[in-house]
């Protein structure tokens, strides 16, 4: 496991990188390190070393592959969200099947990139994630939209969302940031945050991805 340290005076967000292939891991670490707002605090090749890293520091972002030699990236996402609920989790993988995408989102991932993304895109996507977005490769976003569009209405779910909460939840599903939601609904970013907390409470979830997944499953939002 390799670590890096930010320069004194820098405000850089700590990233935990988990990728089993050496060449790919070095490429991703270099791509992330090029962004002035990001710092790879730990670079791990398997689930065991990732767990050891998590015992020593709290990452702001987890970027993980799904296929690891001693486990599954989805398992790691669940563990990270349980240990550090505020940590943003993003998948980077060659696996882009609908089942894997939805499983990662349900586990707590709020971003999903395929490994053919450019190195510039990788850094930008992580920063977007930190700013409240849900960056996804186009093919991944298509899976999510197809699932939402074909999901049948579930009828009365017993959960009462206000019209404003439905608007905000729909925006979250589309990957809008808090600022973009505030601009679209002509309310403050603080008020957007309050609505989102109420949505989480009603749906009994703790992340954007879980809220969107539950809302789609229950037929509360449609596109």
pLDDT in tens, 184-200: 889 998 899 899 989 98
Where residue 27 falls among pLDDT bands split at 50, 70, 90? very high
The DSSP annotation for 62-81 comes to EEE-SEETTEEHHHHHHHHH
Classify burial at 132, counting beta carbons within 10 Å of its beta carbon; exposed 0-12, middle 13-18, buried 19 or more. Answer: buried
Main-chain dihedrals φ then ψ at residue 13, nearest 5 degrees: -85, 130
d(CA 64, CA 72): 10
Share of the chain above pLDDT 70, in %: 89
d(CA 215, CA 205): 10
Among all chains, which residue has been given the structure tokens 């992340």?
207
d(CA 139, CA 103): 16
| Whole-number average pLDDT of the chain | 85
Least confident of 59-63, 143-147, 163-167, 191-195: 143-147
**What number of other Cβ atoms are within 10 A of residue 100's Cβ?**
20
Q: What are the pLDDT digits (tens) for 162-218?
A: 889 988 988 888 778 888 899 988 999 889 989 998 998 888 887 777 788 888 777
Q: What are the pLDDT digits (tens) for 109-129?
A: 989 999 888 888 999 999 999
- Are 17 and 42 contacting, i.e. CB atoms less than 8 angstroms apart? yes
The highest-confidence range among 76-80, 94-98, 150-154, 172-176, by mean pLDDT, is 76-80
Mean pLDDT of 33-56: 96
How is residue 197 annotated by DSSP?
A: H
Of the two residues 150 and 186, the one the predictor is more confident about is 186
Where residue 8 falls among pLDDT bands split at 50, 70, 90? very low
Question: Half-sphere exposure of residue 133, counting CA atoms within 13 Å on the CB side?
Answer: 13
Q: Which of 158, 156, 176, 155 is nearest to 167 (CA)?
A: 176
d(CA 124, CA 100): 23
- Are 170 and 221 contacting, i.e. CB atoms less than 8 angstroms apart? yes
pLDDT at 5 > cutoff 60:
no
What is the rounded (10 degree) CA torsion for 126, 128, 129, 130? Answer: 90
Q: Does pTM top 0.85 for this prediction?
A: no
d(CA 96, CA 169): 24
Query: Can you give the pLDDT at residue 21?
Result: 95
Please report the domains of the chain, with CATH numbers, ordered by start residue.
Answer: 13-145 (3.40.50.2300), 154-217 (1.10.10.10)
Start-to-end Cα distance in the chain: 43
């Amino acid at each position: 496991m390799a670590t890096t340290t930010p320069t004194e005076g820098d405000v850089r967000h700590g990233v935990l990188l988990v990728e089993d292939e050496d060449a790919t891991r070095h490429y991703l670490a270099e791509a992330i390190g090029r962004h002035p707002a990001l710092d790879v605090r730990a670079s791990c090749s398997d689930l065991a070393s990732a767990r050891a890293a998590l015992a020593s520091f709290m990452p702001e972002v987890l970027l993980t592959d799904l296929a690891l030699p001693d486990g599954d990236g989805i398992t790691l996402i669940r563990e990270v969200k349980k240990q550090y609920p505020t940590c943003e989790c993003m998948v980077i993988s060659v696996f882009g099947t609908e089942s894997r995408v939805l499983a990662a989102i349900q586990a707590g991932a709020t971003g999903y990139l395929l490994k053919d993304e450019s190195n510039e895109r990788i850094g930008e996507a992580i920063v977007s994630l930190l700013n409240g977005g849900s960056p996804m490769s186009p093919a991944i976003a298509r899976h999510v939209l197809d699932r939402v569009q074909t999901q049948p209405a579930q009828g009365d779910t017993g959960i009462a969302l206000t019209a404003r909460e439905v608007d905000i939840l729909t925006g979250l599903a589309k990957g809008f940031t808090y600022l973009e939601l505030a601009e679209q609904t002509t309310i403050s970013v603080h008020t957007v945050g309050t609505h989102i907390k109420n949505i989480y409470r009603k749906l009994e979830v703790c992340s954007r991805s879980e809220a969107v997944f539950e809302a789609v499953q229950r037929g509360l939002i449609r596109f």
